[in-house]
Amino acid sequence: MSLMRRLLNPYLRVMEKRRLRNAKSPGALRRALEVNARLFFLPRGRGFTKTRIAGVPVLRRDGVAPLLLYFHGGGYVFGSPTTHKAMLAQIARRVGCGLILPDYRKAPEHPFPAAVEDALEVYSAVMETPGGVVLGGDSAGGGLALALLAEILRLGLPLPKGLFAFSPLTDFTGSGESLRSNAASDVVLPAERTGDMTDMYLQGADPNDPRASPLFAAFTGAPPVWLCAGDTEILLDDTRRMTERLREQGVQVTEVIAHDLPHVWPLFHTLLPEARATLGQVSDWIRRL
């Protein structure tokens, strides 16, 4: 347990959790995360270019195989490739891989299944990349990566080499016990706002749809998966139950449950030694693929 973790968690509880609890609009959420990214998620990541793939805006960074296709988090409402590129640059430095970070469409302007459609379009355009593709994501982006993997399997498309996700959102039905039992201990996500995010994204769509809640998807024949979450997160059970679901279907899963670390802690890699260690673990896993 690092000293920085002891300092960061109280700060996040007072500042970040309060901000998420009190934000009045999607625009306020988006602006705040962009500011936080410039302050905390350093270095900012160089060598990226803005382009479009299958009509979807992306940030792209060249590298050797494999190609990492990564979906940022933000409840399908906020976040962007810019807020997450510094963390992904750290993985690329360790692995040497190329990066694509799609700026998929966000709710409430573009509700479900717009994000899944964008993810599938981008993957379809790069799935034949020599050396293969690895899917990744965090929070809602982790759920999006898993939903994409299920769609790839359903459609019979060429498979990625693997998938990793930090603190993924895998269940929009709200049936995970940690949503309630960890409501007080989670230092970032306010449990009372999950209904608002669900309403903005689904806008009446079925939360049991596996494209929204990959916990209920079919994954037989999937490549290896690596998942992590903190034991104090409200989304802890989204990872635990996703791991069980995948293993029941014969998928090779590496599950990492860390103690008392904030939601998507690898974002804080310049502050937390635990974050740097986790990025090292997932980078080693990617290399082994």
**pLDDT, tens digit, 9 for 90 and up, residues 206-227:** 999 999 999 999 999 999 999 9
Q: What is the DSSP letter of 62?
A: -
pLDDT at residue 37 greater than cutoff 70: no
pLDDT of residue 45: 61
pLDDT of residue 221: 98
pLDDT at residue 42 greater than cutoff 60: no
The backbone torsions φ and ψ at residue 53, rounded to the nearest 5 degrees and listed phi first, read -125, 120
pLDDT-based confidence at 1, cuts 50/70/90? confident
Question: What average pLDDT does the structure give for the chain?
Answer: 94
**Share above pLDDT 90 across residues of the chain, in percent, rounded to a whole number:** 88
pLDDT of residue 7: 92
pLDDT in tens, 133-168: 999 999 999 999 999 999 999 999 999 999 999 999
pLDDT of residue 19: 87
Q: Which of 41-55, 121-135, 165-179 has the lowest mean pLDDT?
A: 41-55
pLDDT in tens, 89-105: 999 999 999 999 999 99
**Is 233 a known active-site residue?**
yes
> Which residue ranges form the domains of the chain, and what is each CATH number?
3-288 (3.40.50.1820)
**Is 139 a known active-site residue?**
yes
**Share above pLDDT 70 across residues of the chain, in percent, rounded to a whole number:** 97
User: Residues 139, 178, 213, 283: which is the catalytic one?
Assistant: 139
Beta bridge partners of 97: 64
**Is 263 a known active-site residue?**
yes
pLDDT of residue 26: 87
User: Residues 72, 84, 263, 269: which is the catalytic one?
Assistant: 263
pLDDT of residue 28: 80
Q: What is the DSSP string of 129-154?
A: -TT-EEEEEETHHHHHHHHHHHHHHH
pLDDT in tens, 180-208: 999 999 999 999 999 999 999 999 999 99
Which tokens in the block code for residue 32? 């705040």
pLDDT-based confidence at 38, cuts 50/70/90? low
User: Residues 16, 151, 233, 274: which is the catalytic one?
Assistant: 233
Give 242's contacts (C-beta < 8 A, 6+ positions apart): 146, 168, 170, 214, 215, 227
Q: What torsion, rounded to 10 degrees, do the Cα atoms 55, 140, 81, 186 define?
A: 170
Q: What is the mean pLDDT of the segment spanning 263-289? A: 96
Find, among 206, 188, 136, 130, the residue nearest to 165 by Cα. Answer: 136
